[in-house]
Amino acid sequence: MPERCPVCEVQYEPEPGFYWGAMFVSYAFSVACFAVGGVATYYLFHDPAVWVYVLMVTGFVLLTAPLTLRYSRAIMLYLFGFVHYDPKYNNRPSAESGSKPDKRKSTLRVVA
């Protein structure tokens, strides 16, 4: 993961150890994946043997692991990093160019 945004230079890790809390968010995502995988296996295979549950749920959790890691970090950064998406940011005039909006700027803003 890069240290800063290439467009707006926002620091992705506000302090050392910031993403340790993302482990708990990732754990919640994994539990949800276990539940969804278990229910889907039950209905798709009509209550199969235990080893089928283990294989299907483990495979589903391993396939979604990169997504859960990325989204748990994004949620931590959004909730506790004070970086929020601002859809109107590009429509504002920039200070250097007078009244024209600057399309090179990011749509993220840092809330102080």
pLDDT digits (tens, 9 = 90+) for 71-106: 998 888 888 877 766 667 666 555 555 555 444 555
- Integer Cα distance of 37 and 87 in angstroms: 35
* Same domain membership, residue 41 and residue 87: no
- Using CA atoms in the order 81, 85, 90, 95, what is the torsion angle rounded to 10 degrees? -20
In a domain, 100, yes or no: yes
Is 107 part of a structural domain of the chain?
yes
User: Which tens digits make up the pLDDT trace of 29-41?
Assistant: 999 999 999 999 9
Residues contacting residue 14 through CB under 8 Å, at least 6 positions apart: 81, 82
Number of domains in the chain: 2
pLDDT digits (tens, 9 = 90+) for 41-75: 999 999 899 999 999 999 999 999 999 999 998 88
State whether 77 and 100 are in the same domain. Answer: no
pLDDT attached to residue 110:
58
Which residue has 């700027």 as its token pair? Answer: 105
- Nearest CA-CA partner of 79 in 19, 5, 17, 16: 19
Q: Are 37 and 57 in contact (CB under 8 A)?
A: yes
